[in-house]
Amino acid sequence: MLKARTLQEIVEQPEAWSAAIRSFDAAAPEVARLFQERAPDEVIFTGCGSSYYLSMTAAAAFQKVAGLRSRAVPASEILQFPGSIFIPGSRPLLVATSRSGTTTETLRALEMARRRGIATLSLTCAPRSPLARGADLRIISPKGHEESVVMTKSFSSLLLLTLLLVANHAGSVTLDRELRRLPALGKRIVKVALNLTGDLGADAARFVFLGGGPAHGIAWEAMLKMTEMAQRPAVAYHPLEFRHGPIAMVGPGTAVVFFGTRAGARLEADLATDLRRHGATVVSLRDEWRGAEELDVDVALGVRLEDEARCLLYLPFAQALAYHRAMGAGLDPDRPRHLTSVVRL
């Protein structure tokens, strides 16, 4: 049987999270200095592929918790349409993320920002990479590097760095405390995720991933993992947006996964009930609040975390689901076809 390195990298995530926390703590004084000296009035998170999706979650968390205008944009949009991203007279901070630190669009977006005098912060797993060297400040995920093509522990550890950035700038003791619980919680969650997803969605013809607020980026990353590893048709939406047209695709053969939020719990539960009535297999991931009744799979994590911190714990489920569906189809999750670890233009 194929021994996928991806599986081991999924399991290694809590260790990578612990290392990311230590790395952030070492950089925290410089982070505070950067914000003090440059006084940004907006934070723009950017990256490509998975790094863009983690930027979605980071931007949602930063604006809500830190109260500073924040948004996520693909690096290619900065490269091609800078006038629609950078507002004249503003003082943005560009947070650029890349696992390898060599992704072409991200490097060019960083260069464009620096030419405009914009403050830059890079997040990467490669301390000697051009992205790390080219920014005003870098923060490294020391144990995020992977041998497989798809991002798993790199994604989650880099996302954790962005959330630590949020807690640090906001002075949120609560979020900081919750983020520091994640490595210990993750060891249990990874085991649950791998056991739960073994046969889940094995007969599904299509997958739908739904998440709102900080969970929206997680839904997009889940879609990408399923597409990359298992080569199954998959889409991602804001939960209630799914009612506005896409629900027409739902029926037997559709597997729907909710990455639950406390803010959206009641309305998302109503949607889950409707989707199951339409014939979909419905999976709900949530915390301790009451969920919809009679779902196919209802996972209450019981971690008592706010949405921003809990989102990180949804990732092992998304990754494990894609891994198992790839293995079940006889595909190599370490080396999906047409893909390389780094995209260079």
Last residue of a domain, one of 136, 171, 206: 171
Same domain, 133 and 56: yes
Residue 147 DSSP SS3: coil
Token code pair at residue 30:
């410089």
Tell me, yes or no, whether 141 and 210 share the same domain. Answer: no
**Distance separating alpha carbons of residues 182 and 196, to the nearest angstrom:** 20
Helix (H) or strand (E) holding 270: helix 265-277
Together in a domain, 164 and 25: yes
Q: Which stretches of the chain drop beneath a pLDDT of 70? A: 1-3, 338-343, 345
Which residue in 206, 245, 218 sits closest to 309, CA to CA?
218
The pLDDT value given to residue 1: 38
CA–CA distance, 95 with 56 (Å, rounded to integer):
12
Q: Indicate the average pLDDT of the chain.
A: 95
Q: Tell me which residue range forms the domain holding 15.
A: 5-171
Give me the pLDDT at residue 54, please.
98
Torsion of CA 197, 199, 202, 203, to 10 degrees: -130
CATH number of the domain to which 324 belongs: 3.40.50.10490
Query: What does the pLDDT look like over 216-240, one tens digit per residue?
Result: 999 999 999 999 999 999 999 999 9
Same structural domain, 194 and 71: no
The whole-model pTM stands at 0.95
Other beta carbons within 10 Å of 104: 16
Angle subtended at Cα 151 by Cα 147 and Cα 153, rounded to the nearest 5 degrees:
80
- Say if residue 197 is in the same domain as residue 291: yes
- The whole-number pLDDT of residue 291 equals 85
**Strand pairing report for 234-237 and 206-211:** parallel
Q: Which residue has the tokens 């464009």?
A: 112
3-state class (DSSP) for residue 53: helix
